[in-house]
Amino acid sequence: MAICPVGAIGPLNTNAMVIDSALQGLLENSVEGSDAIIVGFACNECVYRAVDEAGEERLQYPADLHLLEVPCTGSISAPKILQTLEAGASGVILFACDSKLCHYGRGARMANSRARVVRNLLSQSGENSDKVQVAQLIGRDAKEFAAVARDAVALIKGSNGG
């Protein structure tokens, strides 16, 4: 149900309305004049556990990365990525499981496919496509998460000129 192609079904407390509300709150409550806001959608099956471990281990990752836990990054549609950018995010990172280890079978591939579509649209409209990234993690490794997050945020910041 986490990768239902039309969003008709979804787990309780993580449906599209809940994710939209969290995203809206995140972008509306950002500090005016602050650095870039980069939204990271993190799969709760593997990536979000690595995020929790990173916090427990006090590992550093960019402060301008704001994470939203989702059932699967394959559930984030191309229009949702575009809406996130239009609402004020400087970039979007889809933190997905490794495609061979995805709990939903094809969620990581769907995340990559949707990001590719958005990157093509951005490129065709003259915008820098690097503001949309996919970061796949092999497991629940907190150090790997922190390193991948730093790299993806650096790419996005570079695409935005700072």
Q: Closest Cα partner for 82 from 23, 158, 28, 6?
A: 23
Q: What is the mean pLDDT of residues 103-128?
A: 87
Residues 2-56 pLDDT 10s = 455 555 555 555 566 777 777 777 777 665 555 678 999 988 877 888 888 888 9
pLDDT for 6? 52
Q: Closest Cα partner for 95 from 161, 42, 22?
A: 42
Q: Quick one: tokens of 10?
A: 């979804």
| Residue 133, C-beta contacts closer than 8 angstroms, at least 6 positions apart | 91, 92, 93, 94, 115, 152, 155, 156
Pick the CATH number of 16-159 from 3.40.50, 1.20.120, 3.30.70, 3.10.450: 3.40.50
pLDDT for 148? 92
- pLDDT range class, residue 161, cuts 50, 70, 90: low
Q: Closest Cα partner for 89 from 153, 15, 18, 16?
A: 153
pLDDT for 122? 96
Residues 42-99 pLDDT 10s = 888 778 888 888 889 999 999 889 998 888 888 888 999 999 999 889 999 999 876 6
pLDDT for 103? 60
Q: Is residue 101 over pLDDT 90? A: no
Q: Quick one: tokens of 47?
A: 């990536």
Higher pLDDT, 106 or 21: 21
pLDDT for 152? 93
